Structure 1
Amino acid sequence: MENIPLEIILYGVLPRLPAKSLKCFNCVSKPWLALISSNEFINDHLHYTLASNTNHLLILTGNDTCLYSCNLDFPKGGTVKLPSFGIEPSVVGSCNGLLCIQSYRPYCLVLLNPSTGSYRELPSLLPSRRCSAMNFGFGFDSKNDDYKVVRIVDRYSSLGFLGYHMDRIVHVYSLKKNSWEVIEWTSPECSMGPSRENGALVNNHLLHWKFWCLLESKYRIRCFDLCEKQWINDVPLPDCMEMGFNTYSDQNSNTQDRLLDLWVFDGRLYLSIKNQKQSAVDIWVMNEYGIKDSWVKLFEISDPRVFESTRVSLIAYQSIKRQILLRIVYKAEHKILWYDIESETVEIAVIGGLNDSLWVDVCKGTLLDVPGGSKIGTTKQMA
């Protein structure tokens, strides 16, 4: 280290280190504190972090329903308990290292950087009555330099003696304006699932949800552009889905049950699809966004626990051991598994000393503060 020029350390090495380590380096000297706290350094660190396969934080929901964070590169290390803003918190999205967290009693939405302790509570928008489904999305509008939250609610509205019909209401929250806006109020043709399925974020501003079209007996992937505050072109599906899964299932199987998840892996949209004929779950990724022919099957998982699951989600890739962290819903229970790419085997994952987790999400570790936010105290380290 003595032979390495200080300039290389400060501007070449430090921006590539985890956010947690950099926070410790604030105590080295006043010049280091000034450097690490500068907007230029924070943006450089964000650039390197987003472009790399490191600096991932796993956000775990423990059996006590509290949230914990853990470094993916050291999954057997300790976890840090995140601040509690309400009962039963859940992550509804992450972007640039910021988490959007929903809690109940009191009902609230909070933006939090788990690496820095910067947070901001958003104005309450209480759930609608007769709500049948409610999902969120969170991302960044680079056109207006603004973080935004999307809330989609399907609810039943009374028609008097005629019964009920379904309404879909889309709200968008702007952090700059600190207010919610109704973007759409329609009668939907396709339905959202009642389970937790928040928006899959691509390129920081494109949010995606899957909808089931009953009349056509097929799925539709809709895209909401945060910059334009509107729905844009649907994402094309791979041929195996467009053809009604005829290569994946028999005539007696339910087409709707074949698609197990839509999310983002390594910056690309992916689909997990149940392949009945092979007794496996196939993972498809879209290598070039919006290009139908770029869908490719990444791999298939034939482990019985995965195949029999009702939801299979890819969380993160650990490059050191060439393993992929999976979240599954197996026999009504949430399980966290490691999938080894080379041996094609699956084993139970123990993350941060927690033998079991109700849920797991992932975000990048960055130094960004929530705009207009406050700081919270140092969180408690678990043994």
Structure 2
Amino acid sequence: MANSANLATKTTMSSLPLPTDIITHEIFAKLPVKSLLRFKCVSKSFNALISSPEFIQLHLHESRSSDTNHLGLILADEDRLKLYSIDLDSPDSSVTTIPLPRTPDLWKSPVVSIVGSINGLICVRLVIDIRGFDPYKHILINPCTRVFREIPRCKRTPMAKVFGSFQSSFGFGFDDLNVDFKLVWIVDFLRQANYLFDPVDPVNVTGREVIVYSLNENTWKLTDTVKEPKDSVRTQNGALIKNHLLHWIFSGSNYRYGYRIGCFDIQSDKWTRDVPLMQLIEHNNSKNNKFCVRSLGVINGCLSLSTITSSSKVLWILKDYEAKESWVKLFHINQFLTSHFFDFIQPSFCFRRKSKYEVLIPKFHRQELFWYDIGQGTYDSLKPVIKIPGFVSGCFFRESLVQIPGGHHISQDI
């Protein structure tokens, strides 16, 4: 790459021996963002090409269509204003530290977590003040370009003026129809205080509001209100499918098996049909081996679900989203191995390697990550990640040049 950069400094787009179309589609569109950012400094013509909306979309399309093209893992250090980007395509899975911007209203030690990622942008949540209705600050950041933008805090809603205690869950996605990034906030108002996220008994939920933030409009909008809901949200972040469909697990005593998966479409800002769990639970639930749904996520574009029984912890995937009964067991870990090595399996950390028999999962206490061989039941340490202290949340993302309107560069001296 260094030789290519030296050659490029002596040329312009017009003097290159290859046609511009080949350079754009066959070379530049397949390069990692880091290399493209360097090429922007070579000449005005390179800068204009790589900065153009057409090329940014071309590069994003190439990244989406490739199984291994520029895939990264982002982890959040809950006690520090830092993100860690792990390049899973590099031989040594190199780690890059990304500082988060500091603002006057942040605590000295805010709680940091990741909501989700789409089109190369990461949505980060920080708890800054537990006394108000909206105790969070959300930041959109492109970890490759180091550009960020703060999302304004939400004003007090009708139910918030009546009920003081609540529990929150968020989801982040992209509205392809309106070309708009959106953040969804589900607020379950409680009869009794519950300051930390801990799935509550549905009888304690006295009301629910769904509030949606639009990046295009830079505003929050109340889109759904439910009085006395018969269930409660069980997952802290929504699982995103097809860019615009966000999913959460709900639990309630009125359901036959205690759970449902609700789907919210950010293109219409409305709830759609639930994703059925009947077949999956019916085949695996018994009095002697109680079946508990634990967390929801996405693996290689498929909705995934982790469950716990008295004998094992299992990860499922919905192979065909349109065939809602196509839940398939991806792998399971017996309780003995889990108690010694692994916490409950979180789909948000799982990624299937080039070999279809390996997935990336966190070790107990979330200080290490391992490649787990599904076929052999063995694991290998992903050594660079071991150095990351106490990461609490993470997600996978595709590198992109996607711009954030109104964004700012993170200062290098933070």
Q: Give TM class, smaller chain.
A: 0.7 to 0.9
2:80 counterpart of 1:80: no
Match of 1:110 in 2: 139
2:332 counterpart of 1:300: yes
* Contact kept? 1:140, 1:226, Cα under 8 Å: yes
Q: CA RMSD in A?
A: 3.0
Alpha-carbon offset, residue 70 of structure 1? 2.1
* Contact kept? 1:322, 1:340, Cα under 8 Å: yes
- Superposed CA offset, 1:172-203 (max 9, x none): 1111111111112212111113xx62011111
Normalising by structure 1, we get a TM-score of 0.84
Structure having the higher strand fraction is 1
Residue 221 of structure 1 is aligned with which of 258, 261, 276?
A: 261
2:360 counterpart of 1:325: yes
- Superposed CA offset, 1:189-224 (max 9, x none): 11113xx62011111110000101223342100100
Alpha-carbon offset, residue 236 of structure 1? 1.8
Separation in 2, partners of 1:287, 1:130: 41
Match of 2:24 in 1: 10
Match of 1:344 in 2: 377
Separation in 1, partners of 2:380, 2:369: 9
Identity between Structure 1 and Structure 2 (%): 34
- Seen in structure 2, the aligned counterparts of structure 1 residues 61 and 165 have a Cα distance that, compared at 3 Å, is closer
**Counterparts of residues 308-319 of structure 1 (less than 5 Å):** 309-313=343-347, 314-319=349-354
Separation in 1, partners of 2:366, 2:389: 10
Amino acid paired to 1:55: H
Amino acid paired to 1:373: G
* Contact kept? 2:112, 2:127, Cα under 8 Å: yes
Match of 1:358 in 2: 391
Alpha-carbon offset, residue 376 of structure 1? 2.7
Alpha-carbon offset, residue 88 of structure 1? 2.1
SS state at 1:12 partner: helix
Alpha-carbon offset, residue 232 of structure 1? 0.6
SS state at 1:289 partner: coil
Match of 1:22 in 2: 36
Range moving further from structure 2, 337-346 or 148-157: 337-346
SS state at 2:140 partner: strand
Match of 1:251 in 2: 287
Alpha-carbon offset, residue 76 of structure 1? 3.6
Alpha-carbon offset, residue 61 of structure 1? 2.2
Amino acid paired to 1:27: C
Alpha-carbon offset, residue 288 of structure 1? 1.7
Give the unaligned 5+ runs of structure 1: none
Alpha-carbon offset, residue 114 of structure 1? 0.9
**Counterparts of residues 125-204 of structure 1 (less than 5 Å):** 125=154, 130-157=164-191, 166-186=206-226, 187-193=228-234, 197-204=236-243
Alpha-carbon offset, residue 99 of structure 1? 1.0
Range moving further from structure 2, 296-305 or 282-291: 296-305
Range moving further from structure 2, 292-301 or 40-49: 292-301
Amino acid paired to 1:50: R
SS state at 1:368 partner: coil
* Contact kept? 1:79, 1:352, Cα under 8 Å: no
Alpha-carbon offset, residue 318 of structure 1? 3.2
Greater RCO, CA 8 A, separation 6+: 1
Separation in 2, partners of 1:146, 1:267: 20
Amino acid paired to 2:302: R
SS state at 2:216 partner: coil
Alpha-carbon offset, residue 268 of structure 1? 0.9
Separation in 1, partners of 2:95, 2:356: 19
* Contact kept? 2:122, 2:143, Cα under 8 Å: yes
Alpha-carbon offset, residue 95 of structure 1? 0.9
Count, aligned residues = 364
- Superposed CA offset, 1:83-131 (max 9, x none): 2344222111111111111112264111111111222111112796644
